[in-house]
Amino acid sequence: MKRLILCAGLALISMNLFAQEETEEKKKFSFSGSVDGYYRTNFDGPNDANQIAPNTSFANQAGFALGMVNLIGEYQSADGKVGAVADLVFGPRGEAAVFNSPFNLSGSSNIVNQLYVYWNVSETVTLTFGNFNTFLGYEVISPTGNFNYSTSYMFSFGPFSHTGLKADFALSEDFSLMLAVMNSTDFTEFNPDGSYTFGAQLGYKGQFLNFLYGNQTGGTDATFQVDYTGGFDLSDDFYLGLNATYNDTDGAGFYGVALYPQLKTSESFTLGLRGEYFGETEGGVGAIGAYDIDGDANVFAATLTGSYELGDLTIKPELRLDSASEDGAFIDTDLAPSKSLSSFVLGAIYSF
């Protein structure tokens, strides 16, 4: 009898340990990321110490240049209700993405791109608290999420990231709603002056209408921005993406629209075009760099990109033409003011 009781006890202990191990195994940890770099040259502008580039983010250095290393870790509870995400970036692209970060100002190369916790309150409600990339716009910080390697004016001068609290609601199978309260745009580590920004997003079948409103650190007037992002599969091989935005701070601001047609020509190659019209009023945000007497200017940028996939490696050759309304937006090879600039970029991205 004693042996029987002992064996039963050992069996119960073993079953309990096995159940605990099984529960631990069900907890989900994922790790992913990317590495990228590029080559860039101007056809009708300087490539030496006077080198210039479109006043957009990331792919703006001459010759062979570095992008970033992106490391993303996510841990989720066994029941999937709560979790945390740590998104770290190392390199010039990452530093440029968090320009209001004190870590960036101190020259650190170890940068937090996103750092947040989340709670799936129910099947239809999720709360997110911390630092997360913006919900506005068609393009994103990571090159793995963009078709074109260089970025648009609208993306470069719209928000990059926010820190705050947001709530996502699945209203139905087709409709979604997001509401957020956040620090000033791109002040991702703390709130320096008590200014807060409010955000909202209404989604319908992959089409999103985004809103941003609030006083910004260093400014005296509230900034308002409305943004539309979406796209349509016109056929099995042809996709059309769209982005339009309007930003205003007491009359000064910017507006723009971009089309992103993409044609898949084979299993490994896709050809895409980004056609963007971008304008500024009363000096805007200084994106174009040259303005008329009223502080107004506009630029049209056409970017033709090929995307060739070799397993986890993607090669992106790219031709880009920027044409502005005012002389002085660019300079030519003689260092004279110019309205236009043509350039070539070859990007390489490895995803894991």
Domain 29-351 CATH class label: mainly beta
Report the candidate in 324, 350, 346, 351 with the shortest Cα–Cα distance to residue 337. Answer: 324
- Number of separate helices (H) and strands (E) present in the chain: 4, 18
Report the candidate in 216, 218, 157 with the shortest Cα–Cα distance to residue 182. Answer: 216
Kindly state the percentage of the chain with pLDDT values over 70.
90
Classified as helix, coil or strand, 277 is strand
Mean pLDDT, residues 176-199: 93
Domain segments of the chain: what residues?
A: 29-351
For the segment 82-97, what is each residue's pLDDT rounded down to a tens digit? 999 999 999 999 988 8
**Distance (Å, rounded) from C-alpha 313 to C-alpha 350?**
4
Higher pLDDT, 106 or 333: 333
pLDDT bucket at 111, cuts 50 / 70 / 90? confident
Structure tokens at 219: 């400014």
For the segment 329-339, what is each residue's pLDDT rounded down to a tens digit? 999 999 999 99
CB 92 within 8 A of CB 65: yes
CB 276 within 8 A of CB 152: yes
Mean pLDDT, residues 202-208: 97
Structure tokens at 237: 């091989």
For the segment 58-76, what is each residue's pLDDT rounded down to a tens digit? 999 999 999 999 999 999 9
Mean pLDDT, residues 253-277: 98
**What's the pLDDT score for residue 6?**
44
Classified as helix, coil or strand, 340 is strand
Whether residue 274 is predicted with pLDDT greater than 60 in this model: the reply is yes
Classified as helix, coil or strand, 13 is helix
Structure tokens at 200: 């909202």
Higher pLDDT, 169 or 194: 169
**Distance (Å, rounded) from C-alpha 56 to C-alpha 155?**
8
**Distance (Å, rounded) from C-alpha 148 to C-alpha 316?**
8
**What's the pLDDT score for residue 5?**
47
pLDDT bucket at 218, cuts 50 / 70 / 90? confident
pLDDT bucket at 10, cuts 50 / 70 / 90? very low
Classified as helix, coil or strand, 1 is coil
Q: Got the DSSP string for 112-144?
A: EEEEEEEEE-SSSEEEEEEEEE-SSSS--SSGG
Classified as helix, coil or strand, 250 is coil
